Amino acid sequence: MEKFERRDFLKTTAAIAGGTVLSAMPLTGAFAAGSDVIKVALIGCGGRGTGATFDALSSGFNIKIVALADAFKDNLESTYKTLKDKWQDKIDVSENHKFVGFDAYKEAIKVADVVILATPPGFRPIHFEEAVRQGKHIFMEKPVAVDIPGIRKVLAAAEIAKKKKLNVVVGLQRRYQTNYREAIKRIHDGAIGDVVAGQVYWNSGGVWVRPRKPGQTEMEYQMRNWYYFNWLCGDHIVEQHVHNIDIANWVKGAYPVRIQGTGSRAHRTGKEYGEIYDNFALELTYADNSVVYSQCAHFEGVTNRVDEQFQATKGRVYLSGGGQAVLYDAKGNEIYRHDPKGNPNPYQQEHKELFEAISKGEYKFNNAEYGAYSTLTGIIGRIACYTGTVIKWDAALQSNIDIMPTNYAWDALPKLLPKEDGFYPVAIPGQNTNLYI
């Protein structure tokens, strides 16, 4: 694994943020002047997949949705209906382009120019790999994997995507949000000096549970409740907190060299909550010895917080997804306050920029790499907390602990199964650490 040099990383980031075309070349079947329809397939018909499809269709380019894929027929049909209600002839999905089941993605990818990958994150590496193999442009949701073999798969496919000049945008939408772009550009330009510390947070109230239904196989139950199983979700530190961790990496222009932390199930202890923790606290240490503290929790009734702040040699910065960005000098005077009025919706902006590049036949986006490394930061954080050990970045990348099932079928068994009392085994720091790294 090649080491990350801060300077190189910044160069790459700057090139992308500045909108420099990595390489302009006529793509096969370029969508010149918007005259040709861009055919899009949605893989993963949940709320976010449907939302991402709306964002794509709202981007103003000549797009048609030509295929839908989901493991569940009911998800697919309800998304189809919602899409059709709103977008009418922009949704051109015939019955034989509705693909259901674990292998549905392969066929859906075939018939599209661009794919939206929005299933639970566990499937992302195999879907991304296949989309790259088939030479498609890609929008994929975060996080991009749930375990380290998955990360390596994404990184390998990302290399191939680069060679094939496939645009890949990852749904870490803060990268496309004006307040973050403006503030972080100023930080990288030296407005507050070198960043020496930071704190990033995602403390919220948690998410839904879908009660077990009679007749469901274990595979179906876990798939319906994907948030609570690591092979599907990666735990909430990966699934949600990746947003804030990614900001830390972006601001630092680097990835941590080691991570330590602590976490537990303090609040969400029932069997319906699978195996995941409800709180994590991490220390991300970077090569320059700066430390970012990260905290995420799913607690009800407590003070919530979702934002980021960093301290630097000549000042500090406060950032949040609500559009805030304030830079202060060392004396606490405001030196920049972002005005969010009229800023584009970042969820739409990421699609707008992707489809703009595609329609012009340009190659501009290789987000898979930072998407993978920020996802990896969350995964290492999870492992550090589950095991109670300090995990080094380079060592972690060698991990072969693969948590994905060996077979994908409704009657196949995931690796993690409930005990006799219906509760799932949960990681206890200091015990069974070999299961996690």
Q: Which long-range contacts (CB under 8 A, 24 or more apart) does 13-20 make?
A: 13/188, 13/250, 13/253, 13/370, 14/188, 16/364, 16/365, 16/366, 17/181, 17/185, 19/364
Cβ nearer to other proteins, comparing 204 with 285:
204
Rounded Cα distance between 382 and 237, Å, is: 7
Is 306 one of the binding residues for other proteins (CB under 8 A)? yes
Q: Is the peptide bond before 143 cis (omega within 30 degrees of 0)?
A: yes
Q: Does 86 bind other proteins (CB under 8 A)?
A: yes
The CA-CA-CA angle for residues 188, 379, 408, to 5°, reads: 130
In angstroms, what is the minimal distance from the CB of 171 to other proteins? 8
CB of 328 to other proteins, least distance (A): 15
Identity of the residue, 167 or 177, whose beta carbon is nearer to other proteins in the bound complex: 177
Which residues sit opposite 65 in a β-bridge? Answer: 40, 91
Of residues 55 through 84, those in contact with other proteins by CB under 8 A are 82
User: Which residues lie closer than 8 Å to 373 by C-beta, 6 or more apart?
Assistant: 249, 255
Which of 75, 179, 204, 230 is close enough to bind other proteins by CB under 8 A? 204
Residue whose CB is less far from other proteins, 4 or 293? 293
Among 34, 51, 149, 429, binds other proteins (CB under 8 A): 51
Q: Burial level of 292, CB count in 10 A (0-12/13-18/19+)?
A: buried
Q: Does 47 bind other proteins (CB under 8 A)?
A: yes
Residue 83: CB minimum distance to other proteins, A: 8
Site string for other proteins, 159-198 (x = CB under 8 A): --------------x-------------------------
Return the number of the residue (52 or 259) whose C-beta is nearest other proteins. Answer: 52
Q: How far is the CB of 301 from other proteins (least distance, A)?
A: 4
The CB-of-130 to other proteins minimum distance in angstroms stands at 24
Task: Return the SS3 of 386.
Answer: helix
Please report, as a single letter, which amino acid is at residue 377.
Answer: T
Sign of the dihedral defined by the CA atoms of residues 36, 368, 171, 129, in that order: positive
Q: Is 316 in the site for other proteins (CB under 8 A)?
A: no
Residue 157 vs residues 116, 125, 150, 163, 164: alpha-carbon distances, Å: 16, 8, 11, 10, 10
Nearest to other proteins of 9, 202 (CB atom) = 202
CB of 44 closer than 8 Å to CB of 128: no
Q: Which of 50, 59, 359, 377 binds other proteins (CB under 8 A)?
A: 50
Q: What is the DSSP letter of 100?
A: E
304 binds other proteins (CB under 8 A): yes
Under the criterion CB under 8 A, does residue 54 sit at the interface with other proteins? yes
Do 142 and 370 contact (CB within 8 A), yes or no? no
Instruction: Determine if 305 is a binding residue for other proteins (CB under 8 A).
Output: yes
Binding mask 347-366 for other proteins (x = CB under 8 A): x-------------------
The count of chain residues that interact with other proteins, using the rule CB under 8 A, is 29
Out of 190, 205, 425, 430, the residue judged to bind other proteins by CB under 8 A:
205
Query: Among residues 82 and 433, whose Cβ is nearest to other proteins?
Result: 82
Nearest-angstrom CA–CA distance, 379 and 374: 9
207 binds other proteins (CB under 8 A): yes
Torsion of CA 141, 276, 105, 137, to 10 degrees: 20
Comparing CB distances to other proteins, the nearer of 5 and 300 is 300
In the complex, the smallest distance separating the C-beta of residue 57 from other proteins, rounded to whole angstroms, is: 11
- Tell how far CA 166 is from the center of its chain: 18
Query: If binding is defined by CB under 8 A, does position 300 make contact with other proteins?
Result: yes
> Is residue 53 involved in binding other proteins (CB under 8 A)?
yes
Name which of 180 and 286 has its Cβ closer to other proteins: 180
Which residues lie closer than 8 Å to 97 by C-beta, 6 or more apart?
66, 67, 68, 108, 111
**DSSP string computed for 263-326:** EE-SS--SGGGTT--SEEEEEEE-TTS-EEEEEEEE-SSS--EEEEEEEETTEEEEEETTTEEE
State the minimum distance, in angstroms, from the CB of residue 380 to other proteins.
24
Binding residues (CB under 8 A) for other proteins: these are 47-48, 50-54, 82, 86, 173, 203-208, 300-301, 303-307, 320-322, 345-347
